[in-house]
Amino acid sequence: MLSEKGTKEQLFAKYEEVTKANPTNPIYFYNYAVELYKTAYNEDTAQRPANAEELTIKAIEKIQKSIELDAKYPNSRMLLGQIYYNQGVDIITKNKTIKPKGNIKLTPAQLKQKEDMRQASSKKFDEAVEQFVKIDELLGSQGKLKMEEKQFLKDSYDLLINIFEQKQNTEKSALFTDKFNNVDKVH
């Protein structure tokens, strides 16, 4: 009810209360993380709230707690992977704004900044890969999957394909493309 009719502050306070009262229930931590991240993230960075970074950090903490409580819950892995993936994309987008003015080459400081950002985005993508591969391990070896699980598997493969294309790793991109194309047949 608070999600639909209350304020975000009321909703987050209720989740704090619920997770304190149920510290071993991974689903409460997952749901809390979903609400935090939904509030924080918008593809258009100008549309994000001023405290988006703080909310995202808190979402990561809550989702990591959910995974700590149940490492085999694919929903938590998917959300954490998406957060890391989106952070990597944000860094790439920011990196593209570092451009020389006129016909001047980038300064050594700008080149270092771009390289640091490239490494930071690569690290975020590696963190995302870890989560998406875990989804493949959890669901990819199973037979028939529920619709939600099948969608998580497809989404994780799709994002893995994007990451490995970005990293120019054609072998891994092809591997996950094949898995993506066969989800409906296999599951």
Instruction: Give yes or no for residue 92 having a pLDDT over 90.
Output: yes
Distance CA(44)–CA(104), nearest Å, equals: 30
Residue 18: name the closest of 6, 30, 4 by CA. 30
Q: Has residue 53 got a pLDDT over 70?
A: yes
Res 80 pLDDT > 80: yes
Cα distance between residue 84 and residue 121, in whole Å? 9
At residue 99, the pLDDT reads 84
Amino acid at 20: K
* Residue 43 predicted with pLDDT over 90: no
Q: What's the pLDDT score for residue 22? A: 96
Structure letter (DSSP) for residue 71? T
**pTM beyond 0.85:** yes
Determine the distance from the C-alpha atom of residue 164 to the mean position of all C-alpha atoms in its chain, rounded to a whole number. 15
Mean pLDDT of 104-110: 89
pLDDT at 7 over 90: no
The set of residues, in sequence order, having a beta carbon less than 8 Å from that of 46 and lying 6+ positions away, is none
Question: In this predicted structure, what is the pLDDT of residue 100?
Answer: 79
Report how far residue 165's alpha carbon sits from residue 180's, in angstroms, rounded to the nearest whole number. Answer: 14
Residue 67 pLDDT > 90, yes or no? yes
CA distances from 104 to 69, 100, 110 (A): 53, 6, 12
Residue 66: both structure tokens together? 């959910």
Residue 27 neighbours by CB under 8 Å, 6+ apart: 66, 73
Q: What is the pLDDT of residues 121-150, one digit of tens each?
A: 999 999 999 999 999 999 998 989 999 999
Amino acid identity of 95?
Answer: N
- How far is Cα 93 from Cα 83, in angstroms, rounded to an integer? 15
Q: Is the pLDDT of residue 91 over 70?
A: yes
Name residue, tokens 């549309």: 47
